[in-house]
Amino acid sequence: MSTTDARVGSEIPDETGDQSVEFLHDDRVDPDEVTLFTPGGDSIATEWITADVRTAVALDDAR
């Protein structure tokens, strides 16, 4: 996956406290994929998730 160098941070709360999550996308204008990861994690190479934008559902729509 190729990515842009723009990073955007987001705070996503969970039951164990706030977790800082960042995401990268493959194209700023018309992204096909988005990858979520914890910044600065020791296991960044194995602890990430990538979703196809066409199949993703907004969190507000999932609740």
Give Cβ neighbours of residue 5 (< 8 Å, ≥ 6 apart): none
Query: In a 10 Å sphere around its CB, with 0-12 CB exposed, 13-18 middle and 19+ buried, how is residue 24 labelled?
Result: buried
Q: Please, are residues 36 and 56 in contact by the beta-carbon 8 Å criterion?
A: no
Q: Which residue, among 30, 39, 29, has the nearest Cα to 7 in the 3D structure?
A: 39
According to the model, what pLDDT value does residue 46 have?
A: 76
According to the model, what pLDDT value does residue 16 have?
A: 59
Nearest-angstrom CA–CA distance, 23 and 8:
6
Whole-prediction pTM = 0.54
Summarised one tens digit per residue, pLDDT across range 7-59 is: 455 555 555 566 688 888 899 899 999 888 888 767 767 788 898 988 888 87
